[in-house]
Structure 1
């Protein structure tokens, strides 16, 4: 009866078109006040305070701001110029450069939409001017942008780590193998689709010039990821270093950004953080109640009556998460479902780090699936193309990513080998 009333409450709020933050706040307050014994609304306030009183949470706005600074400045442009210069001799090299540029920018931005906009704004017109099929160009930029949430540093991986008390550093390290697999899969498809295009001769002068202009930009992922993987930086310190480095390079070295530009991107970051933080706070309170009441253990016992295989369980959760990715944005999905599903998968013997990667890849596909697919919605506006064309363009990439998801789910070593090496 309690669960039924909560479902009715959520359905009513959704019918009234309320946002996720308000729905979570009302449900959390109702749970503490009416549905859980030995609880009260005061406990909700305490949970919210303890949820946001974490040093790691500071990394989220700093990574967002660093990515916005690099997009507003010229770091993205300089990285792309270097990749284009190096891939010219390859047949379909410009398409390959687009995917590789998304991968490189993902290693410093941590965001899917930021990666797509930063690289796509430059590469999409260039691909069309070089004779690439419009669907191939659109799909590669839209799908390539999703690499921003799997290649470390990743804001969704950071949220997963905080929501489940899993090592964020291990999650960042684990994202390398799956990220490279997705880059290879996407790049192979783009090269195959553009195999009819003629390659160009390698211009060593162009490469040297791109290296000279992009030297500071290239050092960004080296410093950031090297600091994280070597253990010199915590995720929060890495976020602070990336922001400081981006500001110094853009304001004082490249000088292609001014203080007024910084004010604009800082305001946008505040708005974004104002969306993420309340979602995390209210969802964390709900997850505390769920854990205290023993629902994860009850769910595990119930599911084991019907699903006896660990791989059957993983397949079931993958299907659920693919559906969740279609109807929820990734931040809400992570803080709500990760703590609920983690005891279930660990009960079948799966590693929490491996499951974190599987969950993020599922939600990565969700960026390309209607009705909530952020990349196709934002891309439709940014690239000035019809929504229907955007959906059509990403269908092959969704299929490729689902194939990669199956491999990542079935072969945990793809995610965990580097973690074990560094340990």
Structure 2
């Protein structure tokens, strides 16, 4: 009697899995038809907004609700996960760039750098129709290139240029709208604080999707550098568009022009030499690879402090505590919002919402044109009700993977995102630049909104160009990598692949058969093998290896000159 063999025990599917993987395996997200869950979320949001709680309380409460009641975590490990995410955020060196740029902007706002930049721009462009207004636009670009902040640019440039524009004969509505709109370039012209936050929040790492060889290897300062370069093209486009509008207004209102004086240009250049050098040092150092974005931010603080303290002598030692205190308050609120937004991002990741969204969008079979149109409409609406930092931290983890899955380059998507939210600075009821200008120029919010309408329309036109002409944002990045300036539309790449003639299937041709001299392909030989397997035989059946050996022998026995 044969001994009974012990049957092997069924394998435990969790035997090789780590404890962390078992605990964190996410169940399905709540169904959209789970009325109680979504009703509770909406009630929470409406209630907190009605109470007027600070933004970080609102974001933190939403994140906690989603994680506890959204079917992602049922354990206390939730809190440690958010803490771990926050610690990982704090470990990113590029995060240090934000406080440095904030401090640098505060120092320059307090000092004379803005005045000297304006004087130089006015000496160059004053001879043109609308020259003073054009000077305000270019001064905003220069200051944005060293401050990284839109509201700071409005305060620094607007406080000087608004009275000058009105005194020169420009309409007050035009003057208000111009400096408010030009100041919004602060988030698009690098270095930009929102761009740094975007690079941190984007789960794609700003890497190349299939079909592109544009960006660096993704992650850290290399991604920020590429994003800074990508912002130059759209920034210049909007700058030129606003300048053309100022040129037109100068012709219509017949504002007196200044005479071009080369000596005045020279004096303004000497006076603003140190201020003009700062964007060259910062951007040139980043783009040339001399230092990273984080190091550039530190250099900007040291340079701005040295120029304002020892050369311009416009800041006293007694002003330092106040400047640092204002910067610390701004940074404190920003970092709290970023940390709490990680909880929301954690929910999106564990509930697999980006993946489900990608699958759903792909199932709709939308064209890229339609998808990007919907994204622009969504972001314009979001700009009405959400500040730029919150919008980036909440929406980027959701939208960026979808765009990446559709073949849109993350750098292109980032610039579309930033330009949309730049327009959001000019739209009520949350538009930050509107409130800054209202306070600075002593105008009502309604007056400021009406003054910015023509400029908002100009920016929307520029947004359409940026959205559907990838070269505007990706051209300089591609050129810096030696790939050429022109970057084709993703649909073009897909069409090229689809329209390419299909390659002929390679065939292994056997030598002429002994019967009729026809050649056998590899598929025909395999058919012979299958027929032999299916045929009943009296002897023991051959194994597949034996049959394959017979095929090889048959090929080897044929006359020379054949190609297997």
Q: Whole-Å Cα distance in 2 between the matches of residues 16 and 302 of structure 1?
A: 36
Contact kept, 8 Å, 2:82 with 2:342, in 1: the verdict is no
1:121-173 per-position Cα deviation (integer Å, ceiling 9, x unaligned): 11110001100111111111000000000000001111100101331111000
Which of the residues 160, 170, 173 maps onto 1:132? Answer: 170
For the residue of structure 1 that corresponds to 2:272, the secondary structure is helix
Which of the residues 62, 85, 93 maps onto 1:55? Answer: 93
Deviation at 1:10, TM superposition (A): 2.1
Q: Whole-Å Cα distance in 2 between the matches of residues 377 and 306 of structure 1?
A: 40
Which of the residues 37, 42, 52 maps onto 2:73? Answer: 37
Q: Whole-Å Cα distance in 1 between the matches of residues 132 and 320 of structure 2?
A: 31
Higher relative contact order (CA 8 A, sep 6+): 1
Q: Whole-Å Cα distance in 2 between the matches of residues 346 and 318 of structure 1?
A: 16
- Name the counterpart of 2:492: none
Q: Does 1:259 align with 2:259?
A: no
- Name the counterpart of 1:337: 395
Q: Whole-Å Cα distance in 2 between the matches of residues 355 and 169 of structure 1?
A: 16
- Name the counterpart of 2:235: 179
* Pairing 1:77-226 to 2, within 5 Å after superposition: 77-164=115-202, 165-166=205-206, 167-195=223-251, 196-226=254-284
Q: Does 1:234 align with 2:330?
A: no
Q: Between Structure 1 and Structure 2, how many residues are aligned?
A: 423
Q: Whole-Å Cα distance in 1 between the matches of residues 445 and 366 of structure 2?
A: 42
Contact kept, 8 Å, 2:64 with 2:343, in 1: the verdict is no
Deviation at 1:3, TM superposition (A): 4.2
Q: Whole-Å Cα distance in 2 between the matches of residues 331 and 202 of structure 1?
A: 43
For the residue of structure 2 that corresponds to 1:40, the secondary structure is helix
- Provide the alpha-carbon RMSD of the alignment: 1.3
Q: Whole-Å Cα distance in 1 between the matches of residues 462 and 445 of structure 2?
A: 25
Which of the residues 464, 476, 487 maps onto 1:406? Answer: 464
Q: Whole-Å Cα distance in 1 between the matches of residues 94 and 373 of structure 2?
A: 31
Which one has the bigger helix percentage? 1
- Name the counterpart of 1:397: 455
Structure 2 unaligned spans of 5+: 1-33, 207-222, 482-564
Contact kept, 8 Å, 2:177 with 2:451, in 1: the verdict is yes
Deviates more, 1:296-305 or 1:33-42: 33-42
Q: Whole-Å Cα distance in 1 between the matches of residues 445 and 384 of structure 2?
A: 16
- Name the counterpart of 2:214: none
* Pairing 1:332-371 to 2, within 5 Å after superposition: 332-371=390-429
1:166-187 per-position Cα deviation (integer Å, ceiling 9, x unaligned): 3111100000000000001100
1:93-115 per-position Cα deviation (integer Å, ceiling 9, x unaligned): 10110111111111111111101
For the residue of structure 1 that corresponds to 2:408, the secondary structure is coil
TM-score by length of 1: 0.97
Contact kept, 8 Å, 1:28 with 1:44, in 2: the verdict is no
Contact kept, 8 Å, 1:300 with 1:347, in 2: the verdict is yes
Q: Whole-Å Cα distance in 1 between the matches of residues 113 and 150 of structure 2?
A: 17
Q: Whole-Å Cα distance in 1 between the matches of residues 363 and 68 of structure 2?
A: 33
Q: Whole-Å Cα distance in 1 between the matches of residues 44 and 126 of structure 2?
A: 57
Contact kept, 8 Å, 1:29 with 1:44, in 2: the verdict is no
For the residue of structure 2 that corresponds to 1:257, the secondary structure is coil
1:241-291 per-position Cα deviation (integer Å, ceiling 9, x unaligned): 001100000011111101222221111111111111111111123212311
Structure 1 unaligned spans of 5+: none
Which of the residues 349, 365, 376 maps onto 1:318? Answer: 376
- Name the counterpart of 1:28: 63
1:18-63 per-position Cα deviation (integer Å, ceiling 9, x unaligned): 1220122222233333431365222222222222232111111110
Question: Structure 1: which 4+ aligned runs deviate by more than 6 Å?
Answer: none
Rg comparison, structure with higher value: 2
